[in-house]
Amino acid sequence: MTVMAPHQIDATAAGFEFLAAPQHAGVRLDRFLTEQPEIVAAHLSRSRIKALIEEGRATIADIAARDPAKKIAPGDKVTLVVPEPAPAEPKGENIALNIVYEDSHLLVIDKPAGLVVHPASAHESGTLVNALIAHCGDSLSGVGGLKKPGIVHRIDKDTSGLLVVAKTDAAHHGLSRLFADHGRTLSLTREYLAFVWGVPDRAHGTIQTPLGRHSTQREKMAVVSEARGREAITHWEKAEDCGVASLLRCQLETGRTHQIRVHMAHIGHPLIGDRTYGAGFKTKVAKLSEHAREFVESLRRQALHAATLGFEHPITGEEMLFESELPEDLAQLRDALAEV
């Protein structure tokens, strides 16, 4: 594939250039392009090729060819310009939100498990952002960009709990500063409730190991060397001993992707229900009561809940503190583990 010069096409577009051989004499333009290996590798269908030709994005001997049926002659230089797809603009959707606080600057959401925070390739709709656009309209801060308006921090799709969203740009800048500081010098508190396998032999502890992308499984995070990763610090405290499992309170001093999940697995206490980082602990399930075993096996997410969120209001300076009780599924898990 040859990227064409900016004066010929949009600098952000991909340009393909081919030279017709004698065997291509009389071949239709759309067929000629569709059969090129580079076009096949780019996963461009014949219907897509036809549409691009009709848009004037194909040339033969530097002359626009808008007819997909135009015949090729040996020696013809054929080019095709494929513009990069424009990012889809999220649309407002009528998705119920559990709003625990709202003013003209921000709102605090109690997010259910299963709700994706912002659109991505696998989730273009049905996200928290889609719900926020419908709820806030044009008042939602645009600092986060097209896909992340108002989003200051995030929690995993299958983690439930508290999340603050900026409605104005001023609030967004102030909250971003708080979260970048991680509560070290500014007012920010984040506490999670985590049900983990096993019972730590201490009442509390701190995990301080760098995190980065897994070397072979790119969708996963892993404990890595300082050279490859970023600083990650998790403080934990044992809240309940459930025999083969326990309930921990975890406080974040940094905010890395999957931080609690990776850190707890690293010390041998992965989260219950975590199929990504806790798959090797299925033998623990056999030690549960029948009811608890059935419940754990039916749990479709990691047992992690963002229970406490505290921060200084970025505009008023007021100290805000919010707490969220365990959602129904984790409350039932707690009761089931107590049966052991």
pLDDT of residue 121: 64
Residue 48 and residue 33: Cα distance in Å, rounded? 11
Average pLDDT rounded to a whole number, residues 84-98: 81
May I ask the CATH architecture of the domain 14-82?
A: Roll (3.10)
Q: Indicate if the pLDDT at residue 88 is higher than 90.
A: no
Structure tokens at 147: 């896909």
pTM of the model: 0.74
- What is the Cα 297 distance to its own chain's centre? 25
Are 159 and 305 spatial neighbours (Cβ–Cβ below 8 Å)? Answer: yes
pLDDT classification of 188: cutoffs 50, 70, 90: very high
Average pLDDT rounded to a whole number, residues 87-104: 89
Q: Indicate if the pLDDT at residue 6 is higher than 50.
A: no
pLDDT classification of 122: cutoffs 50, 70, 90: low
pLDDT classification of 39: cutoffs 50, 70, 90: confident
pLDDT of residue 182: 80
Are 171 and 105 spatial neighbours (Cβ–Cβ below 8 Å)? Answer: yes
Task: Pick the more confident residue, 185 or 199.
Answer: 199
pLDDT of residue 251: 95
Q: In the chain, what are the domain boundaries?
A: 14-82, 88-181, 185-340
Q: Indicate if the pLDDT at residue 12 is higher than 60.
A: no
Q: Which fold has domain 88-181?
A: Pseudouridine synthase (3.30.2350)
Average pLDDT rounded to a whole number, residues 238-261: 94
Residues involved in catalysis: 156
Secondary-structure class of domain 185-340 per CATH: alpha beta
Are 164 and 111 spatial neighbours (Cβ–Cβ below 8 Å)? Answer: no
Same fold for the domain at 88-181 and the one at 185-340? yes
